[in-house]
Chains A and B, each alone.
Chain A
Amino acid sequence: MRTTGTSPLLPKEDAREAALFFVVCALCFLAALSGLVARSAYAAADSWTEQVTGQITIRVRGTDGDATRAVSLVSQTPGIRSAHVLARKEAEELLKPWLGASGVPADLPLPHLIAAEGSGNATGLGDALSKKLSGAGIDATVDDHVTWSQDVKRATDSAGLVALIAVALLGMTAIAVIAFATHATLLARKDIVELLHLSGARDSYISGLFEQRFLMLGVQAGAVGALLAFGAAAFILFVVKQSDQRIWLLPQLSLSLADGLILGLAPLLAGVAAMLAAKVTVLRSLSDMV
């Protein structure tokens, strides 16, 4: 004989809750994935900017002597840590992606390229070098990559912002869906709510039953969604590594501690959102009762 009073006061989940589980799971998957994309976009922006900051490329049109003189002038400029002329082989290596593995014909003249490195906080070096080289009668173009790196940063920041907006929208959608589903569940459980109410249960006691139920539902559905997002991210990484391709943002997509935090937070946030939605809905319904 069983005769114990330990059965939960709310019946086990029904089809409505299964549907809600699926919806929360899908929303969490999308939110976690968007979160990962946002983080990777910002990480990419930082990484790429960091890589080009202080790097200056100078193209000298002239003789070897002009190039040597330019290196000397550049090296003496305050804020420049080092400068050297790229050997023909190094220049050919840079051109490989455009000209192919067959390389550059030996008789094709290449501009002299100088790679200089400025200290990270030196600003306006590009303009100063341009003036200095021009003043010395050297025909040269100075590229400090500022424009390019700013474009990259703007693009990655925009991508990150879009992803963050997507996360926020998905979060709000999740809360609205959960509130709607809680309300529907509550209507289906109105008999239980009213019986508990008339048996002397406090509002917080009744609300607590639903909060506990929906917290667990949110956390479980969120955990499944986050796991799927982790799987999707891992799959993308695997594909990228297998194909040995460098695709714009994807090289930055790594499963780091920050990603782990995003994946871990998603179910917690889903659970808390579900719990709060349940609390508000139940207390509002109870306030209609005497």
Chain B
Amino acid sequence: MPERDERFDEPAVRFDRVSLSYGPEADVLADVSLQLKPGSMTFLTGPSGAGKSTLLRLAYLALRPSTGRVSLFGIDTGKLNRPTLARLRRRIGVVFQEFRLLEHLTAYENVALPLRVNGDQEKRYRDDVVDLLKWVGLGDRLDARPATLSGGEKQRVAIARAVVVKPDLIIADEPTGNVDEEMGERLLRLFRELNRRLGTTLLIATHDLNMVRKAKADVLRLADGMVVRVAAPPPAVEEAPA
């Protein structure tokens, strides 16, 4: 089990009146406040262009808010220096919508990337990475490069890369967008297993309402840059004023 922050009771993700705009245009996100309890599983839904990806980018520290505060594991990320931010990012696994696999690395090497960045020795993680790739159905594609993988296979490699470090928080942007229903269910089971067994907090943006229904998890609905609806159970979430 990964090392937990001593402030375990603090929300894993907390947005306090967060707004984000690019230049003088209207806010992409407007005055969003929310909290994700540690060990919770939350789906983020909403129409295209509602700001889901932007919200996720703020949560995985690719963006800074224009106003407001983003805290992870009880730490105000706006006050951190770069090395501390780097350490914090290692506690987050991200499944990017566009996969972001490195074309010159094999599937195995792509999955092992966060471990290499952590400075782990290959002999210590090799079996885990192979097992993980077998679990996502890519046991026979370990040495395949992304160019030879289908969209669904790339998606699974990206998911394996996000979970390989057993992060405290997994943020996924449309993780089942390119996989068939059966694989979608397997991936959902993987997420649930991580959530239940390791206490990993999950924030998943999706259009897949079927997956949302099956997961029976918290749901945030985003529209026009604002959180407009929170499905049960609501106590973990504070809806921003509309």
Q: Which A residues lie at the B interface, using CB under 8 A?
A: 1-7, 9, 11-12, 191-192, 194-203, 205, 289-290
Contacts and interface: CB of A to CB of B under 8 A. Distances in A.
A205 B122 contact: no
A99 B142 CA distance: 86
Nearest to A286: B82
Contacts of A7: 104-106, 109
A4 B86 CA distance: 25
Nearest to B80: A290
Interface residues of B, number: 37
Contacts of B85: 290
Given A3-B143, A5-B112, A5-B122, A195 B102 contact: yes
Question: Which residue, of B86, B87, B122, has the highest number of chain A Cβ atoms within 10 A?
Answer: B86
> Of residues B85, B115, B117, which shows the largest number of chain A Cβ atoms within 10 Å of its Cβ?
B117
19 contacts: A3-B106, A3-B126, A4-B108, A5-B109, A5-B116, A5-B122, A6-B122, A9-B102, A9-B105, A9-B116, A11-B102, A191-B102, A195-B102, A196-B117, A198-B60, A200-B117, A201-B117, A202-B83, A290-B63
A200 B116 contact: no
B113 A11 contact: no
Contacts, number: 81
B89 interface: yes
Most buried by B among A7, A198, A201: A198
B46 to A, nearest CB: 23
B143 A200 contact: no
B89 A199 contact: yes
B100 A191 contact: yes
A87 to B, nearest CB: 81
B159 interface: no
B114 interface: yes
